[in-house]
Amino acid sequence: MINDKLLNPKSVVVVGGYDDVAKPGGKVLKNLLDSNFEGDLYVVNPKLDEVQGIKSYRSVEELPQVDCAILAIAAKFCLQTVEVLTGNKETGGIIILSAGFSEENEEGAELERKIVEVIDNAGASLIGPNCVGLLNQTYAGIFTTPIPSLDSQGVDFISGSGATAVFIMESAVPKGLRFSSVYSVGNSAQIGVEQILKYLDETYVHGESAPVKLLYIENIDHPQMLYKHASSLIRKGAKIAAIKSGGCEAGSRAASSHTGALASPDVAVEALFRKAGIVRCNGRDELATVASIFMHPVPKGKNVAIITHAGGPAVMLTDSLSNGGLEIPHIEGPKAEALLEKLFPGSSVANPIDFLATGTAEQLGHIIDACENDFDEIDAMAVIFGSPGLFPVYDVYDLLDEKMKSCKKPIYPILPSVINVKDEIEHFIKKGRINFPDEVTFGDALSKVVATEAPQKEEIILPKIDTLAVREVIDSAENGYLNPDSVFKLLDAAGIDRAFERVVENVDDALAFANEFGYPLVMKVVGPVHKSDVGGVVLNVTNEETVRKEFDRLMQIKDTYAVLMGEMLSGT
Amino acid sequence: MINDKLLNPKSVVVVGGYDDVAKPGGKVLKNLLDSNFEGDLYVVNPKLDEVQGIKSYRSVEELPQVDCAILAIAAKFCLQTVEVLTGNKETGGIIILSAGFSEENEEGAELERKIVEVIDNAGASLIGPNCVGLLNQTYAGIFTTPIPSLDSQGVDFISGSGATAVFIMESAVPKGLRFSSVYSVGNSAQIGVEQILKYLDETYVHGESAPVKLLYIENIDHPQMLYKHASSLIRKGAKIAAIKSGGCEAGSRAASSHTGALASPDVAVEALFRKAGIVRCNGRDELATVASIFMHPVPKGKNVAIITHAGGPAVMLTDSLSNGGLEIPHIEGPKAEALLEKLFPGSSVANPIDFLATGTAEQLGHIIDACENDFDEIDAMAVIFGSPGLFPVYDVYDLLDEKMKSCKKPIYPILPSVINVKDEIEHFIKKGRINFPDEVTFGDALSKVVATEAPQKEEIILPKIDTLAVREVIDSAENGYLNPDSVFKLLDAAGIDRAFERVVENVDDALAFANEFGYPLVMKVVGPVHKSDVGGVVLNVTNEETVRKEFDRLMQIKDTYAVLMGEMLSGT
């Protein structure tokens, strides 16, 4: 499905290229030119010989061989164009930006099916239709802006919605997030989110491939494919965050209207993500924040040092991280005192480490060094440094950048002064760094990342099931009810763990069970069907006296012929 | 405490004014000049006759009468300066920016106490020390930036932390939020958050005063004062949102280190805010978003129309609002069909109302008109409109601004394209409008606002307590246990509502109770102490047959002499 001509074309044609950059066919050509595509670039426009300085052919038939075609023409012309391209021009990658296919009506759906058939038969790849395109380090086959900074160690981003892809980039770019590739799958006629994830999994080389994958999805057509490749990628060392929207009833109706998605039950999505190790996000800002966290080293544990020159944000961040299950451990001892000596009077190193509004870059360096080398309990540092607008803070942000290069523990930069030191933050981001402008948004996202467990093991080991024994128990059931002993046999035969239990008929056996397994215990009558209604269940039995007393009482309940003793488990 | 010389001075002196705007004394003077303070402005600087073009006196003694003084000098010089100002210069408002007081050590605390004594005796007002100052529509007595747009119908903001005040403004200003005043209370030596809130309450005139109050607090010294004036303000029509940080154990340690705050138990804070009707926020971005919602009309109900030209954000917003307890009602009927006629094919009016990527300003106008006039079930509109970067969208945002002027239902503008249509968003904000850049951040905040209940009634009407009857019941208790009838008498005498209950001794009375109060019912044995242990409690009795059966069974339990029939309440 996904081939090299789509991803790394040596030549690209824009079919329907215009001079007018307010049209998709004009803007995609401009983006290709602006991003300095190194291969051959052509245009097809029936009325022009040159578009934006690029040679234009009057028809597709006149084109030379071309690896990849981007179609920005009316839907009705697409099928015949694709036939010529795949049949005569050896085109292997097709991106159809145009709308008017399955998202519109049955006629469009039929046209879409025919196009896919032609492309499948030619062994070619199709992105779209009804999408904003594809952007990677080879070419900007996308008709929208912004074009983010490209970086092979950035983010691979796959979106089931074109406009949402744009808006997610608008949230991510100001934070400093860089992208390796952006796929807008549109109607997913041939290639959807899952197929791209599969490709990214199968080609993944840890340390070389882009380490972070982001997904925006409204429907999961192939949950097993998604699970398989997401968990595989994460096992290999990649990190994945995703928005799966349309979870609630009204949201599901909204998604259905938008991308024609059928409702995926939200509990199933939740389970799939949890088993795969995907961090689930609810909004664009959260997704971009989680991705920003992913771009830092992974903390070895849950202990965070909060380093700040301003108290308030540190207090709010402490609340956020603590409530999210992280620790802000108290720092003390001779090394802490040695650090305090290097700071201005009134500073605190107890954690948060507050080096005051007057704190310097040099002092920040001492603090980071101490957290990196001296305070073994610290797993990560969050550095908060803004400005009241009195003087520049380039020295502090340069120091931060240097320390981030040399430290093994992650350092998360929280730079709240997006107005006062706008230039310094831009300077910091230009070095490839990321800013977390809001400490609580950061803290909540970090908590979510840390709380997301590793994917389930690849091989799921199911218990051995003794089918013969299961059959025997079932066949021996007389009236549809099983007595406790038969239930135990059945569970054991099916390999299902169970609480220790024993049916006893006298108080000595009851006490023997209690001595063997310890307290607290559960006692239930054997005989009556609705045990609770007749007072036949005793929870939290904690001593011998109660065992004796309750045994006698239970045996007096009508129909009771024995007592079931059991371990006290939650939910018993 | 708070007087007119502090809030509306006719003359202001900066004691410690400099030419160097990297120093607080230089920057506050620059801010006063930049904000065109209309009164007389003086400087005291022992070495200069002119500072930033303003006449400078060599000593405080040489000053003429001056209403308000801003002190940016070392702590040790402050007491004697304040003595001269209040004693000889009729100064009524004092703002001490300087640090080095109670936040530093006991010596500083002593100095602070002496200064407060002098100021109290003079009947003057003190803001600080250790603060960034005071900003209102009369003057910018603050040494930090940004200086937000000022608007008498904007936000009154009181902060217990100076740097946090700056960072909150940096979060709020880009959204378009305007301010009426900003108070940084620093050490709150004389005037703290509660006192300012009291002043704002006592002077509040709905329709004239700033309608929104924001608070950042780490400790609540006077909870009853806070409760009284917050709830009073809200009853008068104002809206209040607040961050109270330092709630968790580690956060409390952090806050204590920062502002010396003692831990306020977080449950108490939660209860205080809930009773007062304050919207509690956890971070700066959330606080600014809630304040932005406050600047719009109040929706009459929970039904939101989501109007969008892009599906994805509408789906995410639907999820957020639905999960937050709001409704996105399905829209249908002849008026919906009439609206659909006016939109491009493929649009949907079912809610979300999706008028497609190609949707125009004119179409948006039709949609808003229909939601305002035709769809009675709609209480509020959220309009999502960004841009893929092809052409400008001034026409859409101008239309939005016009409709916001004429519509009675609130319209919340969600403009996600902070890069692609940056200029258009700035143009929109310059008209006094606010942007919500992230739909989920908006949706979560709106849910929180709508979920916050009105303040408790001013007069708490306690039940009349019949103390004689209470005493009688207690005196008649023989062994420390009360029989059910005595318990009922006690509760009734204390004016405490209770479930209907009756003790019955025969099955006919049991059935009579059931007929009188209806099902489901609870039945309990009267006599045994540990009723559950002996099977003496039956929940969820739903029919006559069960009443009969269980009555017989319960009466057979040892020590039982009667049965208590009761209404089934949760937690029974």
- Higher-scoring residue by pLDDT: A472, B371: B371
Interface probe for B, chosen from A318, A322, A531 (most Cβ of B below 10 Å), is A318
Kindly state whether A280 is in contact with chain B, defined as any CB-CB distance less than 8 angstroms: no
Task: Output the CA–CA distances (angstroms, integers) from residue A192 to A1, A181, A184, A359, B27, in the order listed.
Answer: 10, 15, 9, 51, 56
Which residue ranges form the domains of chain B, and what is each CATH number?
4-130 (3.40.50.720), 146-294 (3.40.50.261), 304-439 (3.40.50.261), 499-567 (3.30.1490.20)
Kindly state whether B310 is in contact with chain A, defined as any CB-CB distance less than 8 angstroms: yes
DSSP-assigned letters across all residues of A206-233: TTTS-SEEEEEES--S-HHHHHHHHHHH
Closest residue of B to A358, CA-based? B99
Kindly state whether A156 is in contact with chain B, defined as any CB-CB distance less than 8 angstroms: no
pLDDT band at residue A261 using 50, 70 and 90 as cut-offs: low
Q: CB pairs below 8 Å between A and B: how many?
A: 294
Q: Is the pLDDT of residue A206 over 50?
A: yes
**Alpha-carbon distance B291 to nearest alpha carbon in chain A (angstroms):** 16
Kindly state whether A311 is in contact with chain B, defined as any CB-CB distance less than 8 angstroms: yes
* Mean pLDDT, residues B212-225 taken together: 95
User: Which residues of chain B neighbour A312 with C-beta distances below 8 Å?
Assistant: 159-161, 163-164, 167, 216, 218, 245, 258
Kindly state whether B316 is in contact with chain A, defined as any CB-CB distance less than 8 angstroms: yes
User: Which residues of chain A neighbour B311 with C-beta distances below 8 Å?
Assistant: 161, 163-164, 218, 254-255, 257-259
Kindly state whether A452 is in contact with chain B, defined as any CB-CB distance less than 8 angstroms: no
pLDDT at A258 (0 to 100): 65
Provide the Cα torsion A314, A320, A324, A330; round to 10°.
30
Cβ–Cβ below 8 Å for A285 and B23: no
Q: Is the pLDDT of residue A572 over 70?
A: no
Interface probe for B, chosen from A319, A328, A377 (most Cβ of B below 10 Å), is A319
User: Which residues of chain B neighbour A269 with C-beta distances below 8 Å?
Assistant: none
Question: Which one of B170, B249, B389 has the shortest CB-CB distance to A418?
Answer: B170
Question: Which one of B21, B216, B328 has the shortest CB-CB distance to A312?
Answer: B216
User: Which residues of chain B neighbour A31 with C-beta distances below 8 Å?
Assistant: none
Q: Which has the closest alpha carbon to B185: B199, B175, B171?
A: B199
Q: Specify the residue for token string 């009188």.
A: B516
DSSP state of B254: H
How confident is the prediction for chain A on average, in pLDDT? 93
Cβ–Cβ below 8 Å for A171 and B416: yes
Kindly state whether B263 is in contact with chain A, defined as any CB-CB distance less than 8 angstroms: no
Q: Specify the residue for token string 């004036």.
A: B229
* Mean pLDDT, residues B122-141 taken together: 97
3-state secondary structure of B406: helix
Kindly state whether A418 is in contact with chain B, defined as any CB-CB distance less than 8 angstroms: yes
pLDDT band at residue A263 using 50, 70 and 90 as cut-offs: low
pLDDT in tens, A264-316: 688 899 999 999 999 999 999 999 999 999 999 999 999 999 999 999 999 99
pLDDT at B315 (0 to 100): 96
Least trusted range by pLDDT, from B44-48, B70-74, B453-457, B476-480: B476-480
Q: Is the pLDDT of residue B79 over 90?
A: yes
**Alpha-carbon distance B535 to nearest alpha carbon in chain A (angstroms):** 3
Q: Is the pLDDT of residue B572 over 50?
A: no
Cβ–Cβ below 8 Å for A388 and B248: no
Q: Is the pLDDT of residue B518 over 90?
A: no
pLDDT in tens, A74-98: 999 999 999 999 999 999 999 999 9
Q: Is the pLDDT of residue B212 over 50?
A: yes
Cβ–Cβ below 8 Å for A257 and B311: yes
User: Which residues of chain A neighbour B550 with C-beta distances below 8 Å?
Assistant: 533
**Alpha-carbon distance A139 to nearest alpha carbon in chain B (angstroms):** 18
**Alpha-carbon distance B90 to nearest alpha carbon in chain A (angstroms):** 31
User: Which residues of chain A neighbour B419 with C-beta distances below 8 Å?
Assistant: 145-146, 169-170, 173-174
Q: Are A128 and A108 in contact (CB under 8 A)?
A: no
Kindly state whether B315 is in contact with chain A, defined as any CB-CB distance less than 8 angstroms: yes
Please give the angle made by the CA atoms of A101, A107 and A111, to the nearest 5 degrees: 60
3-state secondary structure of A520: coil
Cβ–Cβ below 8 Å for A312 and B163: yes
* Mean pLDDT, residues B501-512 taken together: 90
Closest residue of B to A259, CA-based? B311
User: Which residues of chain A neighbour B318 with C-beta distances below 8 Å?
Assistant: 246, 248, 250-251, 253-254
| A9 vs B342: CA distance, rounded Å | 43
Q: Are A108 and A100 in contact (CB under 8 A)?
A: yes
Q: Which has the closest alpha carbon to A144: A7, A52, A22, A37?
A: A22
Question: Which one of B249, B311, B441 has the shortest CB-CB distance to A283?
Answer: B441
pLDDT in tens, B13-25: 999 999 999 999 9
pLDDT at A260 (0 to 100): 59
DSSP-assigned letters across all residues of B173-233: GGGT--EEEEEE-TT-SS--HHHHHHHHHHT--TTTS-SEEEEEES--S-HHHHHHHHHHH
Kindly state whether A250 is in contact with chain B, defined as any CB-CB distance less than 8 angstroms: yes
- What percentage of chain A exceeds 90 in pLDDT? 78
pLDDT at B249 (0 to 100): 75
Task: Output the CA–CA distances (angstroms, integers) from residue B523 to A267, B39, B52, B489, in the order listed.
Answer: 38, 78, 85, 20
pLDDT at A485 (0 to 100): 79
pLDDT in tens, B439-475: 999 999 999 999 999 998 877 777 788 989 999 888 8
pLDDT in tens, B253-286: 777 766 655 556 888 999 999 999 999 999 999 9
pLDDT band at residue B570 using 50, 70 and 90 as cut-offs: low
| B83 vs B86: CA distance, rounded Å | 5
Cβ–Cβ below 8 Å for A350 and B253: yes
- Higher-scoring residue by pLDDT: A250, A192: A192
User: What's the order of all strands across the beta sheet hosting A501-504?
Assistant: A501-504, A562-567, A521-526, A537-541
Kindly state whether A543 is in contact with chain B, defined as any CB-CB distance less than 8 angstroms: no
What predicted TM-score, i.e. pTM, was given to this entire model?
0.86
Q: Which has the closest alpha carbon to A377: A405, A351, A339, A343?
A: A351
Query: Which ipTM was obtained for this model?
Result: 0.86
Cβ–Cβ below 8 Å for A312 and B439: no
| B381 vs B403: CA distance, rounded Å | 11
User: Which residues of chain B neighbour A382 with C-beta distances below 8 Å?
Assistant: none
- Higher-scoring residue by pLDDT: B457, A56: A56
Kindly state whether A345 is in contact with chain B, defined as any CB-CB distance less than 8 angstroms: yes
Least trusted range by pLDDT, from A449-458, B326-335, B529-538: B529-538
- The stretches of B431-500 forming alpha helices (DSSP H) are 439-451, 467-475, 484-493
pLDDT at B264 (0 to 100): 64
Helix (H) or strand (E) run with residue A234 in it: helix A223-236
DSSP state of B160: S
pLDDT at B1 (0 to 100): 82
- What percentage of chain A exceeds 70 in pLDDT? 98
Residues 74-93 of B with CB under 8 A from A: none
**Alpha-carbon distance A345 to nearest alpha carbon in chain B (angstroms):** 8
User: What's the order of all strands across the beta sheet hosting B40-44?
Assistant: B50-51, B54-57, B40-44, B11-15, B68-71, B93-96, B125-127
| A510 vs B190: CA distance, rounded Å | 71
Please give the angle made by the CA atoms of A129, A165 and A35, to the nearest 5 degrees: 85
User: Which residues of chain A neighbour B161 with C-beta distances below 8 Å?
Assistant: 310-312
Kindly state whether B314 is in contact with chain A, defined as any CB-CB distance less than 8 angstroms: yes
pLDDT band at residue A571 using 50, 70 and 90 as cut-offs: very low
